[in-house]
């Protein structure tokens, strides 16, 4: 068992520090408070070759895996620059298309996306179905060898800057299938197509990426837009959903470290009653406990990524990593805030803005209850709870 990163992995992990020299937490916060996408930073990431981490070299990527993508995300979040667009685009969409896309997707769209010329978002959640994807009603009706897509998807990250969307739709209604997992198909939808409309979902959390509802009204799609096999999309869907859990776990670990580093620095410098407040166990122990939780979650995240890269079942580790990292991130930010006292809630400190983000990630995109239910049933063998 080797826990040492190789030179390439170490370089990827430390890239966040390099990026932060020009695009630091203050830059991220400024865009987050204005809900404005950080185009300059994203272009820098593209120019440095990190959008295609999980895309094969022949299609313009780096040919690496989930481990390297998680290291990238954790490393940037370590410096207070969490990037949700890296979740829905490079991790969930590009990697999936690289494995299951058509020749057009691989030879035309992937190289452009790796260069940053186009962006992808990901659409699975529906207002009426929520976490129960089986009851999704967005339907792509067959019309000869083509499809007509109609329906609604919500909480779509970054739809305002995306050019394409990887859409999870039904090609058979759930009332017409023998198995509830049958009848799903994934499509790479050009968001400029006729019949695609979007509406902003106003989120109170300061984030540079906005949330959107997408409406599809008889959008014409062809066989060239299908990703994978028609009606068999569910069998490959977890190629996207497990990476989503892993990458967000990495993000939570990074945010936790960023917050604790600020807490440690403040508690080491702030003197009350003749000594630094960090010398008091009431301040020190909560941060030490949170640090332990973050590092344990980080280890589980790397295990899940390793399993995914080695084509091993990664569902158990992915769900445990997502659950543990979100809880650890919340604990870490809370401990750092408490160490700062009142100054932790000022805009100049730039710490409190991290709390609603990690708290969001306890609930979305998969809530902790579903993670725990998966662990209880699939890992521990308890009776099904939902």
**According to the model, what pLDDT value does residue 267 have?**
98
**Residue pair 231/172 in contact by the 8 Å Cβ criterion:** yes
Instruction: Map out the domains of the chain as residue ranges.
Output: 5-113, 118-229, 233-377
**Residue pair 371/319 in contact by the 8 Å Cβ criterion:** yes
Fill in the DSSP letter of residue 117. Answer: S
Instruction: Say how far apart CA 294 and CA 300 lie, in whole Å.
Output: 10
CATH annotation of 5-113: 1.10.540.10
Measured from the Cβ of residue 35, the count of other Cβ atoms closer than 10 Å reads 17
Instruction: Say how far apart CA 153 and CA 212 lie, in whole Å.
Output: 8
* Secondary structure (3-state) at 154: strand
Fold of 118-229: Butyryl-CoA Dehydrogenase, subunit A; domain 2 (2.40.110)
Measured from the Cβ of residue 88, the count of other Cβ atoms closer than 10 Å reads 27
The alpha carbon torsion through 76, 78, 83, 88 (nearest 10 deg) reads 90
Instruction: Say how far apart CA 337 and CA 313 lie, in whole Å.
Output: 38
Pick the CATH number of 233-377 from 3.30.70.980, 3.40.50.300, 3.90.1170.40, 1.20.140.10: 1.20.140.10
Instruction: Say how far apart CA 124 and CA 154 lie, in whole Å.
Output: 8
**According to the model, what pLDDT value does residue 310 have?**
97
**Residue pair 139/150 in contact by the 8 Å Cβ criterion:** yes
SS in 3 state form for 231-250? CECHHHHHHHHHHHHHHHHH
**Averaged pLDDT, groups of 10, the chain, 386 residues long:** 94 98 98 98 98 98 98 98 97 95 95 98 90 86 96 97 97 88 95 98 97 98 95 83 96 98 98 94 98 98 97 96 98 98 96 98 96 97 92
**According to the model, what pLDDT value does residue 1 have?**
79
Instruction: Say how far apart CA 159 and CA 166 lie, in whole Å.
Output: 11
**According to the model, what pLDDT value does residue 235 have?**
81
Beta strands in 72-163 (DSSP E): 120-123, 139-143, 146-157
**Residue pair 199/213 in contact by the 8 Å Cβ criterion:** yes
Instruction: Say how far apart CA 199 and CA 154 lie, in whole Å.
Output: 9
H or E element: which one contains 272? Answer: strand 271-272
**Residue pair 105/164 in contact by the 8 Å Cβ criterion:** no
**According to the model, what pLDDT value does residue 2 have?**
87
| Structure tokens belonging to residue 30 | 């400024």
Instruction: Say how far apart CA 345 and CA 116 lie, in whole Å.
Output: 36
**Residue pair 63/55 in contact by the 8 Å Cβ criterion:** yes
Rg (CA), the chain: 21
């Amino acid at each position: 068992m080797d826990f040492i990163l190789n030179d390439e992995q170490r370089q990827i992990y430390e890239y966040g520090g390099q990026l932060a020299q020009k695009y630091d937490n203050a830059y991220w916060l400024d865009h987050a408070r204005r809900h404005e996408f950080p185009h300059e930073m994203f272009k820098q990431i593209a120019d440095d070759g990190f959008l295609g981490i999980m895309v094969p070299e022949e299609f313009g990527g780096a040919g690496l895996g989930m481990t390297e993508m998680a290291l990238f995300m954790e490393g940037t979040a370590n410096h207070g620059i969490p990037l949700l667009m890296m979740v829905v685009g490079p991790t969930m969409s590009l990697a999936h298309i690289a494995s299951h896309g058509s020749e057009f997707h691989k030879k035309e769209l992937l190289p452009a996306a790796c260069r940053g010329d186009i962006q992808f978002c990901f659409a699975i959640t529906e207002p009426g179905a929520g976490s129960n994807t089986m009851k999704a009603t967005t339907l792509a009706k067959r019309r000869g060898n083509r499809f007509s897509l109609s329906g609604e998807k919500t909480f779509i990250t970054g739809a305002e800057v995306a050019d394409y969307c990887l859409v999870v739709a039904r090609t058979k209604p759930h009332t017409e299938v023998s198995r509830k997992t049958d009848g799903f198909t994934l499509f790479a939808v050009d968001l400029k197509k006729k019949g695609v409309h979007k509406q902003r979902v106003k989120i109170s959390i300061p984030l540079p990426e906005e949330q959107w509802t997408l409406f599809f009204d008889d959008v014409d799609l062809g066989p060239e837009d299908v990703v994978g096999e028609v009606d068999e999309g569910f069998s490959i869907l977890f190629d996207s959903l497990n990476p989503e859990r892993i990458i967000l776990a990495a993000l939570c670990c990074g945010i936790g470290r960023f917050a604790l580093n600020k807490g440690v620095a403040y508690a080491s410098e702030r003197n009350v009653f003749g000594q630094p407040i960090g010398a008091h166990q009431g301040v020190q122990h909560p941060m030490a406990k949170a640090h332990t939780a973050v590092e344990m979650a980080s280890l589980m995240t790397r295990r899940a990524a390793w399993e995914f890269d080695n084509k091993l079942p990664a569902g158990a580790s992915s769900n445990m990593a997502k659950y543990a990292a979100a809880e650890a991130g919340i604990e870490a930010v809370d401990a750092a805030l408490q160490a700062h006292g009142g100054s932790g809630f000022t805009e100049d400190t730039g710490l409190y803005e991290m709390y609603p983000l990690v708290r969001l990630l306890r609930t979305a995109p998969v809530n902790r209850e579903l993670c725990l239910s998966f662990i209880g049933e699939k890992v521990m063998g308890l009776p099904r709870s939902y």
